[in-house]
Amino acid sequence: MKNQRITIFGGSGFLGRHLVKRLADRGAIVRVAVRDPEAASFLKPLGNVGQIVPFAANLRDPATVAAAVDGADAVVNLVGILYEKGKQTFDAVHVEGAATIARAAKAADVKHLVHVSALGASAKSAAKYARSKAAGEAAVQEAFPEATILRPSVVFGPEDDFFNKFAAMTRISPVLPILGTKKPGGTKFQPVYVGDVAEAIVAALTKDGARGMIYELGGPKVMTSREVMELILEVTGRRRLLMAVPLGLLAFKAWFLEFAPKPLLTRDQVKLLQTDNVVAGGAHTFAELGIKPAAVEAIAPTYLARYRPGGRAPQLRKA
């Protein structure tokens, strides 16, 4: 991978910063394609001088996308959104944007394309997010049949928007919700460490056998919503009531939350909770990429401990 030129779309995000560091450590020349290169300048110290270059590109402007992939040996698409705002719709980002990148990569004769989708992507899903992810995969495969597609479950790590969100709730709320209450314990998840997903991308870029494959990436343990909340309470050293929230009531609350600049929850996300987010039987997984994923119990305490009463120091009694 040394001296290979790799373009990453969405490289300044949660997963992107972990991937950029790993590629730089392996000697790659990394071009980070983002709408605001100045905002991505924090990535430069992750490599040597000139090794990591933020580059202006907009998925709605094919010319800038083509410029971003010009001369690249490989391309990675990490771009995704969790909610729609203005022109940033699921179709615009997950489908049209993904197709634009794939077509540009094929036209530039790029050797490898890795497209990061999401576990649960399905044309039959009740959630628009999951349907758009499936449509994006189809668009990528049509334009670049050799592309590798990765479908991670809920991704956790120091900057995540899942465990951190609920851990922060323990500071102000006497109750934590059990999500997706149609089943005992709520919706099932298979949390996957962000570093392992980054390693999977690196493996997909280096293994010829990964071309044209779809991998579902989940951690070593399937957890119900209740088990997730119990882990958060254990790590943060707090006692809170766990309450099952009917999906209808959750959707009603989400309607109001959608008006916020950065919604805590949307009605579409409530629809996602109707389906378990776990790796399907028979799917290609981490094992075929030579990766043993880390357990959430080993990683989450390293960054959720800051939510303990009084900070990181262990507590003698629970708050």
Note the pLDDT of residue 269: 93
Confidence of residue 315 (pLDDT cuts 50, 70, 90): very low
Domain extent, residue 112, equals 5-156+191-217
Residue 277 has pLDDT above 60, yes or no: yes
Average pLDDT of 261-287?
Answer: 94
Residue at 261 is within a domain: no
* For range 260-267, the mean pLDDT: 89
* Average pLDDT over every residue of 136-145: 98
Q: How many domains does the chain have?
A: 1
The span from the CA of 138 to the CA of 199, in Å, is 24
What mean pLDDT, rounded, does the chain reach? Answer: 94
Give me the pLDDT at residue 11, please: 96
Q: What is the mean pLDDT of residues 286-295?
A: 97
Output the pLDDT for position 312. 61
Closest CA to 10 of 77, 110, 95, 106: 77
Give pLDDT, residue 210.
Answer: 97
pLDDT digits (tens, 9 = 90+) for 18-70: 999 999 999 999 999 999 999 999 999 999 999 999 999 999 999 999 999 99
pTM passes above 0.75: yes
Q: What is the pLDDT of residue 249?
A: 87
Pair of tokens at residue 105: 């990569």
Tell whether the model's pLDDT for residue 314 goes beyond 60: no
Is 88 contained in some domain? Answer: yes
In a domain, 130, yes or no: yes
Residue 190 above 90 pLDDT? Answer: yes
Residue 204's domain is classified under what CATH number? 3.40.50.720
Q: Is residue 223 part of a domain?
A: no
For 261, the 3-state DSSP assignment is: coil
Percent of the chain past pLDDT 70, that is, above it, reads 97
Confidence of residue 208 (pLDDT cuts 50, 70, 90): confident
pLDDT greater than 50 at residue 318: no
**What integer pLDDT is reported at residue 191 of this predicted model?**
97
| DSSP assignments along 105-161, one per residue | HHHTT-SEEEEE--TT--TT-SSHHHHHHHHHHHHHHHH-TT-EEEEE-SEESTT-S
pLDDT on residue 141: 98
Look at residue 236 and tell me if it is in a domain: no
| 295 occurs within a structural domain | no
pLDDT of residue 264: 85
